[in-house]
Amino acid sequence: MSDDLGEGRRPNKKYNLSRDKNPESTDGLPFYYNRERRLENAPDAVKELYKDGKPVKFGLLHSLVADRPRRFLFAIIIIMCLAILTLSLFGYFDSSYTLDKNKIEITAAGFEGTTIIVLKKTARSQNAYTGAVDIAVSPAVQSSEEQYPVFTHRVFFTMNNEEAYRFAVPFDAPDLVMVLQTEKNTLQIKFKSE
């Protein structure tokens, strides 16, 4: 088969390829849009969407559970949200500690060679511990051969539901170890300084 159409014949001879001075002339080209005519050749799934001449509108919930994979994904998202909510209610994502029915939260920040420690106490019940609490703070030690300073301090838990204690230790270290001791129990905490 050859591309030669014969002498004097062009495949686009009928078309005007130059700019037309009258842009409104269409030279007999039909421009129309007929929805019913187009829907005659459409598949059944598309025809179902356009019942009574109006497209079916979907809601948010319908689009989330429209088919089996979406329902499965939606169920997994709901289960994960419920699990995170339950674990947070039971305190698994909380950075607090418990000492004799008192909730203890500790934060530390280094400032010019010292570390400022903030200890917040919240009573969890009416019979939470009140009295003296001995505190010892030292840098976290990797090996027991080196001697590190130990800072000791004493605070008194009172009957108030919430209390905050602030004190400075004379060293600056990225990791600290704190031991809190009451008359009955001892709590050891390792934390990072900001």
CB of 102 closer than 8 Å to CB of 123: yes
**What pLDDT is stored for residue 81 in this prediction?**
95
Banded model confidence at residue 72, pLDDT cuts 50, 70, 90? very high
Among 5-14, 56-65, 68-77, name the most confident range: 68-77
Summarize the confidence of residues 131-147 as an average pLDDT: 80
Report which of residues 80 and 96 the model is more confident about: 80
Range list for CATH 2.60.40.150 in the chain: 97-142+149-192
Q: Name residue 120's beta-bridge partners.
A: 105, 164
What long-range pairs does 121-124 form, CB within 8 A, spacing at least 24?
121/157, 121/162, 121/163, 121/164, 121/165, 122/161, 122/162, 123/160, 123/161, 123/162, 124/98
Output the pTM of the full model. Answer: 0.53
Banded model confidence at residue 5, pLDDT cuts 50, 70, 90? low
* 52 has a pLDDT exceeding 80: no
CATH number 3.30.930.10 given to 97-142+149-192: no
Segment 148-190, tens digit of pLDDT: 778 888 999 988 889 999 998 888 888 888 899 988 888 888 8
Q: What's the chain's average pLDDT?
A: 80
Report which of residues 81 and 18 the model is more confident about: 81
**What pLDDT is stored for residue 139 in this prediction?**
85
**φ/ψ of residue 78, rounded to 5:** -65, -45
Q: Name residue 108's beta-bridge partners.
A: 117
